Structure 1
Amino acid sequence: MARHKGTIGILTGGGDVPGLNPAIRAVTFRALREGYRVLGIRRGWGGLVDLVSDPKADNRDHVQELTEEVVNRAGRTGGTFLHTSRTRPSHLPKANLPEHLRTSYAGEISDVTPEILKNLEFLGIDFLIPIGGDDTLSYAQRLHGEGVKVVGIPKTMDNDVPGTDYCIGFSTCVTRTIELTHKLRTTAGSHERFLVIEVFGRYAGFSALLPTMAGAADRCLIPEHPFDIEQITDLLCYDRRRNPSNYSVVLISEGATMAHHPQMSFESDEADQYGHRKLGGIGDKVAALLKELSPKYNQGRRVNIVNQRLGYLVRCGDPDALDSIVPMAFGNLALDLVLGNVSGRLVCLHNGCYDSVPIDVVTGTKKVVDVDKYYNSQRLRPKYESFARQPLFIMTSDR
């Protein structure tokens, strides 16, 4: 049997984004060539929960050995071939306990971290590389505190992981948002309507603000600034009058709220294991109110609406160029840390340079838009000033 320097585990957690498979490929290629064995944990933390630490058990549904052939085929595609979940081992509902753990944990919510530690030891994993947002990475930080060697890689459509200017998936999200918004303009212009588009962004408005800055929309509504519905109606009517095709466009983060109704809009009351309810519906509410209020600002005439939620259209499919390049660099940066026996770090981009920060940054602060610096709250649009020395995507992690 071939001897290895050690075993590296890699997993993806939370929502899928383009760029996950290129990151898995980068880690695996470099690790194998450096003499490591690489195990892919399936379905995020769920794979480590469900795994049975018995040499005779069939764990092929929970873990797989990664080879160049496997990752090279998947590395050019979107999503994650390892699959993903929102499993939170420290807060696992009784209904999600696997059969072999049900006699050991009787509570409605259980912390099964002891099982995770046992399973990591069973697999012989020396370094664990989780790829995820602040939820997935917050549990990685917990494991680091338990003595597990962890190097995290940030990903999220919202670009809201603290400590890094860039998260895998954000560029493709912005690219698709701009592309799809411009396509929808033809209908909005043909019918002389308001175009209302709801995009991702629970607590941070980067995915609405940056496409607007790039010319995709006239205005944007972000979670960091509760908006006045009368104000946005007035501004969109103003934009519509100035447009030769007599339409205007607003991008709305899914987590945006109205000043007179500060609650977020949810699809249902059901929450995931991290306590998050599925957002959705603020675009519908705004569209209805814009239609109702528009006569007040349009000489008594109602303006009809084109209302669209982009949702999974911006997170499916293949990664763009940046979400192919950055995951490659992040994966190799993670291996640099592994080779240096450095753990408890989060790889990052800051002011255009690759680096790493302590992984506890993900639980120490929230990364949101600096409204005073980047958002004109009087005009409900980005500020177009002070670009000197700013990074590629303008808004930084400001660490």
Structure 2
Amino acid sequence: MKYRGTIGILTGGGDVPGLNPAIRAVTFRALREGYRVVGIRRGWGGLVDYIPEKDADNSDHVQILTEDLVNRAGRTGGTFLHTSRTLPARLPAAALPDHLKQTYRQQINDVTPHVLRALENIGIDYLIPIGGDDTLSYAERLHREGVPVVAIPKTMDNDVPGTDYCIGFSTCVTRTIELTHTLRTTAGSHERLLVIEVFGRYAGFTAMLPTMAGAADRCVIPECPFDMEHLTALLVADRNRHPSAYAVVLVSEGATTIDEQGMSFESQEKDQYGHRKLGGIGDKVALQLKELSPQFNNGHRINVVNQRLGYLVRCGNPDAIDSIVPMAYGNLALDLILENRTGHLVALRNGCYANVPIEVVTSRKKVVIIDRYYNQERLRPKYETFHAQPTFIMTSEDATLKPTAG
């Protein structure tokens, strides 16, 4: 059978609900347009491990995608292509596969020449990476190297620049609201304060949206260091006003107090993108709330329920939005390929599907606009009007970045 070309697709970084629907959408449309579709397994790691030699067995690194295969997986969570946090531009010596150890001998290696050779050997004409700003930053590097790239944004934090929406965000918000409401029964039964740590390394969207939706009384976010005594005073007042004598705060994993020098981490180990695994700020907040509470509660200590949601909000099946948007993003990517317009990120902007130059991914951080959306005194979301706001309110960016004309 003669194909118009070969499209490669991969997923990188953390898993989110909506990845399999995106893979399904790309594959269905591409096959019907006459392309061959190849899935690259374990993100950029699949290209690092690929052996571009005749008769080499690369079945563990790439696979041909068919309608039957992607249709079975398309309704499920996670990514059946698997994922990794591999960064070929900064690959540690310990992570080098055997076939590269003679070529690359530094402690940290840029194996991009091998990745380019692997893509050529597979016969990739267009590459569709699905990932967050880390995964897509390397996609932008490949674009500069001449690889025809069309990128799709995904991340629980919704922090990829250039788009109002990233795959996985809606399910994360939905689960956060559901689990927070579930945990209320324990907090209310024991008349406690409820501290819930949620995703959000640099951006506080996953704490802000559930709070705005009524899941919590207060939220603290990475963009705005907070004062522990002030938070305690607000939560104790919230608790004492509540008929069931409890109050709830959502804490972004990247949040810091005004007295801290940096974020809270589980360990010193860094991934290839230079990130240490976040975790622990919720524990610190819970402990200090208990210790400080007597100052604001007539000398009586208030106990605390403390829960880190973690992978509970990223596992399982996608919600409605994370089933629909990936379908649209996959088709947007094929629209661009059919027009031979590469070097773009598909996007949602101001309620409309669009695309922007992929360079935006590395141009800046996407964070909550504090002056517009966060009340630093009340430690809550704020808004002046909902008119002309996007679906998720504070997730839009400055309108100076214009979508690319079709």
Give the match's secondary structure for 2:24: helix
1:212-231 Cα shifts (integer Å, max 9, x gaps): 00000000000000000000
- The CA distance in 2 between the partners of 1:220 and 1:262, in whole Å, is 20
Give the match's secondary structure for 2:181: helix
- The CA distance in 2 between the partners of 1:312 and 1:18, in whole Å, is 11
| Letter aligned with residue 397 of structure 1 | E
Q: Per-residue deviation at 1:135? A: 0.4
For residue 206 of structure 1, what is the aligned residue in structure 2?
A: 205
Contact 1:254 1:279 in 2 (8 A): yes
- Alignment gaps of 5+ in structure 2: 402-406
- The CA distance in 2 between the partners of 1:210 and 1:336, in whole Å, is 32
For residue 230 of structure 1, what is the aligned residue in structure 2?
A: 229
Give yes or no for the alignment of 1:156 onto 2:176: no
Contact 2:153 2:167 in 1 (8 A): yes
For residue 404 of structure 2, what is the aligned residue in structure 1?
A: none
For residue 7 of structure 1, what is the aligned residue in structure 2?
A: 6
Give yes or no for the alignment of 1:320 onto 2:290: no
Give yes or no for the alignment of 1:180 onto 2:179: yes
For residue 59 of structure 2, what is the aligned residue in structure 1?
A: 60
- The CA distance in 1 between the partners of 2:20 and 2:70, in whole Å, is 7
Matches within 5 A, 1:348-367: 348-367=347-366
Contact 1:226 1:262 in 2 (8 A): no
Give yes or no for the alignment of 1:18 onto 2:22: no
Give the match's secondary structure for 1:360: helix
Q: Per-residue deviation at 1:386? A: 1.8
- The CA distance in 1 between the partners of 2:96 and 2:259, in whole Å, is 42
- The CA distance in 2 between the partners of 1:188 and 1:9, in whole Å, is 48
Give the match's secondary structure for 2:184: helix
| Letter aligned with residue 132 of structure 2 | G
- The CA distance in 2 between the partners of 1:106 and 1:7, in whole Å, is 33
- The CA distance in 1 between the partners of 2:261 and 2:106, in whole Å, is 35
- The CA distance in 2 between the partners of 1:234 and 1:385, in whole Å, is 26
CA RMSD of aligned residues (A): 0.5
Give yes or no for the alignment of 1:248 onto 2:238: no
TM-score (norm 1): 0.99
| Letter aligned with residue 151 of structure 2 | G
- The CA distance in 1 between the partners of 2:159 and 2:9, in whole Å, is 22
Give the match's secondary structure for 1:251: strand
Q: Per-residue deviation at 1:387? A: 1.2
Matches within 5 A, 1:19-34: 19-34=18-33
- The CA distance in 2 between the partners of 1:236 and 1:119, in whole Å, is 55
- The CA distance in 1 between the partners of 2:240 and 2:372, in whole Å, is 29
Contact 1:49 1:115 in 2 (8 A): yes
- The CA distance in 1 between the partners of 2:4 and 2:378, in whole Å, is 58
For residue 397 of structure 2, what is the aligned residue in structure 1?
A: 397
1:119-176 Cα shifts (integer Å, max 9, x gaps): 1000110000000000000000000000000000000000000000000000000000
1:77-131 Cα shifts (integer Å, max 9, x gaps): 0000000000000000001101001000010000000000001000110000000
Give the match's secondary structure for 2:327: helix
- The CA distance in 1 between the partners of 2:262 and 2:292, in whole Å, is 21
Q: Per-residue deviation at 1:242? A: 1.0
| Letter aligned with residue 285 of structure 1 | K
Contact 2:372 2:383 in 1 (8 A): no
Q: Per-residue deviation at 1:55? A: 2.8
For residue 44 of structure 1, what is the aligned residue in structure 2?
A: 43
- The CA distance in 2 between the partners of 1:117 and 1:384, in whole Å, is 47
- The CA distance in 2 between the partners of 1:93 and 1:305, in whole Å, is 42
Q: Per-residue deviation at 1:397? A: 2.4
- The CA distance in 1 between the partners of 2:112 and 2:383, in whole Å, is 47
- The CA distance in 1 between the partners of 2:21 and 2:256, in whole Å, is 35
Aligned residues between the structures? 398
For residue 332 of structure 1, what is the aligned residue in structure 2?
A: 331
1:335-388 Cα shifts (integer Å, max 9, x gaps): 000000000000000010000000000000110000100000000000032211
- The CA distance in 1 between the partners of 2:292 and 2:337, in whole Å, is 58
- Alignment gaps of 5+ in structure 1: none
The structure 1 segments of at least 4 consecutive aligned residues displaced by more than 2 Å after TM superposition are none
- The CA distance in 2 between the partners of 1:206 and 1:181, in whole Å, is 16
For residue 113 of structure 1, what is the aligned residue in structure 2?
A: 112
Structure 1 range deviating more: 382-391 or 156-165: 382-391
- The CA distance in 2 between the partners of 1:191 and 1:22, in whole Å, is 42
For residue 342 of structure 1, what is the aligned residue in structure 2?
A: 341
TM-score (norm 2): 0.98
Q: Per-residue deviation at 1:326? A: 0.1
- The CA distance in 2 between the partners of 1:24 and 1:175, in whole Å, is 22
For residue 128 of structure 2, what is the aligned residue in structure 1?
A: 129
Give the match's secondary structure for 1:237: helix
Contact 2:211 2:250 in 1 (8 A): yes
Give the match's secondary structure for 1:291: helix
